[in-house]
Structure formats: C-alpha cells, structure tokens
Amino acid sequence: MAFRGKSSFALMLLLCSCAVPQNAVAPADAMTENVERSTDLDAIASDYVQLTLELGEQEAGYVDAYYGPADWAAAAKAKPRDMRELGNGIVDLMLRLDALPASDDTLVEARKRFLSAQLEAALTRHAMMQDEVFPFAREAKGLFAVTPAFLPLSSYDAALTKIEALVPGEGALHERVEAYQTRFTIPTDRLKPVFDAAIAECKRRTAAHITLPADENFKMEFVTGKSWSGYNYYQGNFQSLIQINTDLPIRISRAVDLGCHEGYPGHHVYNMLLEQRLTRERGWQEFSIYPLYSPQSLIAEGSANYGIDLAFPGEERLTFERDVLYPLAGLDPTTAADYFELQQALSDLKGARFVIAQAYLDKKIMKEEALTLIQKYQLVSRERAEQSLSFNDQYRSYVINYGLGQDMVKAWVERQGDAPVWRWKAMEKLLSEPLLPDDLVE
C-alpha cells in the first residue's frame, strides 16, 4: 500500500510512529505458513476493531454498529488512547498490514485490501476530528475511496422542463410540486400499518432470492429531531432498530423507499450477511464493527438505494403501492399512476443534490444561495431544503454515497447479467463479501 494523498498531519504521524516488528515468516511447511499468516492478519483485525472503538469515543456517531466482544467496547470507554497515540496506531496497523506476504487465497487478499482501505479512511477522519478541513472531492476520496465528478447544475434544466409539464399552473415550480405532493401524505395515524406492509413486502421479495437468518428481526420506531429521513441501527445477532423521522409529513412514496433502504435488501440485510458469513463463519472480527466514515458506506448506501429498484422492477412498485399501500393510507388509488410518473421524473434530479452539496461545503456558495438552489433543483419547500442542508452540515461528503454509490452498484450488478436471478446473486455477493468501491469499476 502506498501512502499517497495523505495530509501533512498524517505524514507527521507516519514519521513519528515507532518501529514495528515484522510479522512475516517463511516456515517450510506450507500449512503452518498459512496458519501463521492467518494469525497475523487476525491480530491486525482485532487491533483495528479496538482502535476503531477508541476513535468512536472521540466522535459520537463514528461507530455506526458494533457487535464484537463486549470487553473490547468496555476497554475503549475506560481507557481510550489520546489522539496522537490513535494516529500512530493507525499508521502502525498500516505498516503491519503491508508487511504481510501475499496469499493465494483471493478472499484473504480481498480482506487485506478491505482493511487497508478502512485504515486509509480512519487516517482521514482522524485528521478531520482535529479540525483539518479538506476540499469536498479530497475528503470524499479519503473517506469513501472515490473521487466524485459532477455535471453542472444547468444539465438538470431539461428535467425541470419535463416536470413543468407534469405539474402545470401558476407560481414557482417547487411550490407547485410541493403542493401536489402534499396530497399524497400518509396520515399520522396510518403510518405504522403502511410501513409495516411496505417492509413486509420488501422482506418477502428479498427472501425469495437471499436466504436470511432464521431468527432475524427488527424493531421500528417513529422519531423526531433528525437531519435524516430514516436510519438503521444494527444491533448484532441479526437484529436492527429502524427509525423513521416524522419531523416533516411523509409521502406514500417513502414507504417502499425506506422499507427497502433501511431493511430489505438494504442495511439490515447487509449487516446481517456480514455478521453471518464473515464474522461468525470466518471469524473475521473486523466486520463486527462498522465505522460510518469509510468505503464500507459507499457499498452500504449504494446497495440500499439500488435495492429499491431491484426488489420492485418496472411498474411492480406502482402496482403494489396502488393496490396495497394507497388503501392502507386512505389515499385514492386512481391517482397512483400520475404520482408514480412524477416520482420517476423527480429521480432525474437526484444528481443536483450532490452538486449543490459540494459547492456549499467548499464555500463557493453560502447558506441562502444553497437553500434557494435546493428548492429549485430538488423541488422542495424551504423547510425540506433546510433539513437537506442540515444533513450536509452534519455528514458533509457522506452524501455522495447515495448517488454515486447507487450508480456504481447498479452498473456493477447489471453487468453480471440481465435476468433477475443473476442480479440478485450479484447483490448477495456484494452484501456478503469484502468488496470495495474499486471492485465495482469495470
């Protein structure tokens, strides 16, 4: 692994790190050699988990999920290393990983690459925790192992023109679209039955293609005061807590979106398969922890978004929403087709969100201009634009994982075959092996 693209702070850490014992050995017996290599890699993985837990003590939300040994978490809370020691610890693990000899096992090599990429991200986030600020593109590369390239906002004007025809009338387009979408709000007292039905169907469709752990389950809560619309907190043992934010009225289109994204085949399934197939079956402890700011998030968010279309291809989603969800929500099923057409048209604007986020976070535009552009190119109210901008303030370049991640996952999965069976098999592989963003590139 090369140390290219590091911050000056990271290079300082490298120079001040202590010498590291070399773990590579070359015994005559090949079986013994493989065992020792595995032992060395397992030791690095265990140290990586404990270091990540300690970084999580420095920044709330850094560790998105952990279900490894409880005493490791207790030790991280009781006596975490300071930031200098943690920085040196990251570099120490990088050097130990680099010193391992190559393996003939492709999965072991994939495991090493995964750990290397996660450590690169940890080094970047470590610098950010100490107030180092990177340009948007460099931050995204350091944390998520991709370099985003966006089209200019003007490239989305054609999509706005198309939507103008779907929602004619007086006043600003975003106001007309907001008013139209309000008609498809799920009444508060019907949120639970609608979401229960949506998630159940997402699960049914996923389970038809991917064998899920027999005792898997989730708990759903409705919450307020968040910058996101939904969140999956994976608990381990194949259990999740799914939270749905009700700060703003929830439209009928969000039920399937969130059911797939947070549940099946999204975050819940991704975390379960990693726990089942890598942590439990292979003993790879590094998959018992999920640092949010890492390449793992591009895979997680990209697959969760693509999973919506995989589970509900073509007009199958429209049929399900019209025949099942609309009646549960007390909405008129005869209006479903027109609303579905608008949602398809609005999806052509998704990339504008990331262009605006980059300009805002790189301080090329200020808050008011960003809010105006979000309203214009995302066709939302001021209130929804403020929630979107609040997400950018909190999570910064993380936003690219939803769009660029989805595009990369879609392209990779659909290259594996046209038939649904092959696409589901590709999705299962993506969710259960140590794949990285680079692996998705043709």
The H or E element containing residue 45 is: helix 30-58
Does 25 have pLDDT greater than 90? no
Q: Average pLDDT in the 285-307 region?
A: 97
User: Which pLDDT score, from 0 to 100, does residue 149 have?
Assistant: 87
Chain-wide mean pLDDT for the chain? 91
User: Which pLDDT score, from 0 to 100, does residue 89 have?
Assistant: 97
The H or E element containing residue 175 is: helix 173-182
Tens of pLDDT, residues 72-101: 999 999 988 999 999 999 999 999 999 999
User: Which pLDDT score, from 0 to 100, does residue 88 have?
Assistant: 97
Does 295 have pLDDT greater than 70? yes
Tens of pLDDT, residues 120-138: 999 999 999 999 999 999 9
Half-sphere exposure of 330 (CA within 13 A, CB side): 9
**pLDDT cut 90: percent of the chain above it:** 88
* 412 conformational bin, left if phi > 0, alpha if psi -120 to 50, beta if neither: alpha
Q: Where in 32-163 does DSSP place strands (E)? A: 63-66
Provide the token pair at 49: 């988990």
| Residue among 142, 139, 93 at smallest CA distance from 286 | 93
DSSP symbols for 61-88: TSEEEE-S-HHHHHHHHHS---HHHHHH
Does 329 have pLDDT greater than 60? yes
Greatest Cα-to-Cα distance within the chain, rounded to the nearest angstrom: 81
Does 16 have pLDDT greater than 70? no
Name which of 1-10, 98-107, 432-441 the model is least confident about.
Answer: 1-10
* Phi, psi angle pair for 220, to nearest 5°: -115, 135
Tens of pLDDT, residues 204-230: 999 999 999 999 999 999 999 999 999
The pTM (predicted TM-score) of the whole model is 0.89
Give the three-state DSSP class for 256: helix
Check: CB of residue 405 under 8 Å from CB of residue 299: yes
User: Which pLDDT score, from 0 to 100, does residue 14 have?
Assistant: 36
State the helix-helix crossing angle for 400-415 and 420-432, rounded to 10 degrees. Answer: 130
Provide the token pair at 131: 């107030």
Name which of 26-30, 108-112, 313-317, 377-381 the model is least confident about.
Answer: 26-30
Amino acid at 350: K
Confidence of residue 30 (pLDDT cuts 50, 70, 90): very low
Higher pLDDT, 424 or 314: 424
Half-sphere exposure of 329 (CA within 13 A, CB side): 30
Q: Average pLDDT in the 177-201 region?
A: 97
The DSSP 8-state label assigned to residue 319 in this structure reads H
Check: CB of residue 430 under 8 Å from CB of residue 298: no
Rounded Cα–Cα distance for residues 131 and 129 (Å): 5
Strands 289-291 and 63-66: antiparallel
Provide the token pair at 82: 């300071």
Check: CB of residue 54 under 8 Å from CB of residue 81: yes
Q: Average pLDDT in the 265-283 region?
A: 97
Confidence of residue 107 (pLDDT cuts 50, 70, 90): confident
Provide the token pair at 122: 């940890």
Confidence of residue 38 (pLDDT cuts 50, 70, 90): low
